[in-house]
Amino acid sequence: MDDLAIELKGIDKSFGAVHANKNINLAVRKGTIHGIIGENGAGKSTMMSILYGFYQADRGDIMVNGSKVIIRDPNVAIASGIGMVHQHFMLVDNFTVLENVMLGAEENAILNRGITKARAELKRLEREYALDVNADAVIEELPVGLQQRVEILKALYRSAEILILDEPTGVLTPPEADHLFRILRQLRDQGKTIILITHKLREIMAITDEVSVMRRGEIVATRETATTSVEELAELMVGRRVLLQVEKGDASPTDVKLAVTNLTVRDGRGVVMVDNVSLDVRAGEIVGIAGVAGNGQSELLEAITGIRRAESGTVLLDGEAIGATGEADPALLRKRGLAHVPEDRHHMGLVLSFEENENAILGYHDDPEYLNGPMLNLENIRNSAQESVEKYDIRPPDVRLKTANFSGGNQQKIVLAREMERDPIVLIIGQPTRGVDVGAIEFIHKRIIEMRDAGKAILLVSVELDEIRSLSDRILVMFAGRVVGERTPEATEGELGLLMAGVEEDQEAAQ
């Protein structure tokens, strides 16, 4: 059909016994934003990796602008007008923006001539698509929102007419996500075709023209976005009705289990990131911390859990000081009942090259149940891991599988199972559902509520405001390293948004 930018016909792909894509038929119209949704492990990224040439299909055909194309590698995809913005950015951190955009697309060995031409083209693209970024800035010094713009510029620089974005808002703050959507609409309005892979249903409803739903390797439905709903899409994704709202009763908090007083923390540059913060969390309650990423939430959690040294202040765990200004030891804190689900599962929560059962005991590997004299008791470790796999519905249920081979949502479940099953006194959770699909989100939220109802004290940090409002019994808002207000879950998004923007309570009252 003349109006189709992409058509996949009968695409099949297996990895050993895993049938990742099953007879995929997909049609994407030119000049539209087409969403692809599905649970983690549903086959979305595999399908797009076939389209971009990372994998080759076992069977099936790819049509680009009506012509059959055999995409053997990404170079063929790029030559066919296809660009891809990956979930984990493919940038060289110590290169400039301009160097990253040019990398792999240099016209000749005389770089000075090419640089001048590339700089002019980059300026044109920035102006035309409102993708402003300093061409001479070093990537590692840019916030993630600007790094993502560089990825989009890289694709446009290579004359992409079809852009694939894989979970593009997973690392963005809400304002950055809103700006990305404005960019995508502008790209669409100028004739580009956008394929958006995401698990966030509200984003699908807000930005796409059409949406295809994948489940267990198959496309089970395609809908015009205007004719469907969040509820229908969730049910199509999971194969059953999904609770999109957290169901919980009233909290019954008792004694204070975590007390933070006048805590001040500097980052590696010496900048104050946590500024004289005080808070407490009681047994049987969830205290949520809301705020735009980068306002001190990460450094606060790291200081409480012994990863980062505080400059001043005290932290009490079940009434006893934990030495946040120097003596805190994460291993000792675990033994004392402080469990931690870190914000970045890849860099702080897992060793991706380890098997699932090895990650299931990471940090707890010297517990007596896992030892046989000086050696690890592999049978006990694997049996324990198998129990967690079944309890937390980790897929595939293979404790010998390398952790890198699990989807993001299942990797998150591995971390949650490890920390929640230790019967902690205090549970610190950072970004519990980052990069997680709707079915797994429902499961994770239920487990967090169950932990609260079992009398655990839970401190929760999330950039997802809906998540904070749904789970928390009390909400603290951080801005510029300080707690600028406390609210109940009944607070409106507008109230919390003002506090997140730095409008404090006395200013609100005066307005």
Over residues 21-41, the pLDDT tens digits come to 999 999 999 999 999 998 777
User: What is the share, in percent, of the chain residues with pLDDT greater than 70?
Assistant: 95
356, 331: one domain = no
Is residue 307 pLDDT above 80, yes or no?
yes
241-257: average pLDDT: 85
User: What is the share, in percent, of the chain residues with pLDDT greater than 90?
Assistant: 64
135, 158: one domain = yes
Is residue 476 pLDDT above 80, yes or no?
yes
Domain boundary among 418, 441, 476: 418
Is residue 113 pLDDT above 80, yes or no?
no
Residue 60 within a domain: yes
- The pLDDT of residue 40 is 72
400-415: average pLDDT: 91
pLDDT in tens, 72-100: 999 999 999 999 988 777 889 899 999 98
What is the tally of structural domains in the chain?
3
In degrees rounded to 5, what are phi and psi of residue 42? Answer: -75, -15
Residue 485 within a domain: yes
Question: Angle at CA 88, nearest 5°, toward 33 and 340?
Answer: 120
Residue 509 pLDDT grade (very low, low, confident, very high; cuts 50, 70, 90): very low
Q: Please state, in angstroms and as integers, the Cα–Cα distance from residue 80 to each residue in 5, 51, 363, 398, following that order.
A: 11, 11, 48, 38
Tokens of 128: 């035309």
Distance in angstroms (rounded) separating the CA atoms of residues 20 and 45: 10
- Which of 211, 245, 302, 289 shows the shortest CA–CA distance to 449? 245
Is residue 141 pLDDT above 90, yes or no?
no
107, 208: one domain = yes
Residue 505 pLDDT grade (very low, low, confident, very high; cuts 50, 70, 90): low
Is residue 1 pLDDT above 60, yes or no?
no
282, 222: one domain = no
- Residues 6 or more apart whose CB falls under 8 angstroms from that of 371 comprise 377
362-376: average pLDDT: 94
Domain boundary among 238, 264, 290: 238
For residue 493, what are the domain limits? Answer: 243-337+424-511
Residue 400 pLDDT grade (very low, low, confident, very high; cuts 50, 70, 90): very high
Highest mean pLDDT among 431-435, 442-446, 498-502, 503-507: 442-446
Is residue 510 pLDDT above 50, yes or no?
no
88, 153: one domain = yes
35, 95: one domain = yes
364, 505: one domain = no
Distance in angstroms (rounded) separating the CA atoms of residues 502 and 480: 8
pLDDT in tens, 252-289: 999 999 999 999 999 888 999 999 999 999 999 999 99
pTM over 0.75: no
- The pLDDT of residue 17 is 83
Residue 455 within a domain: yes
- The pLDDT of residue 112 is 54
Residue 126 pLDDT grade (very low, low, confident, very high; cuts 50, 70, 90): confident
In degrees rounded to 5, what are phi and psi of residue 230? Answer: -60, -40
Residue 128 within a domain: yes
Across the strands, what pairs with 36? 197, 212
- The pLDDT of residue 203 is 87
Sheet of strand 210-215: strand arrangement: 82-85, 162-166, 193-197, 33-38, 210-215, 218-224
229-255: average pLDDT: 85
Averaged confidence pLDDT in the chain: 90
* CATH value at residue 52: 3.40.50.300
26, 93: one domain = yes
Domain boundary among 218, 238, 258: 238
Residues of 180-215 as b/e, b for ≥16 C-beta within 10 angstroms?
Answer: bbebbeebbeeebbbbbbbbbbebbbebbbbbbbbb
332, 361: one domain = no
Tokens of 217: 């390797």
332, 313: one domain = yes
Residue 359 within a domain: yes
139, 268: one domain = no
Residue 126 within a domain: yes
- The pLDDT of residue 204 is 92
Pick 325 or 40 by higher pLDDT. Answer: 325
253, 299: one domain = yes
Residue 401 within a domain: yes
Residue 343 within a domain: no
pLDDT in tens, 434-468: 877 777 888 899 999 999 999 999 999 998 888 89
383-390: average pLDDT: 96
- The pLDDT of residue 232 is 92
Distance in angstroms (rounded) separating the CA atoms of residues 411 and 426: 22
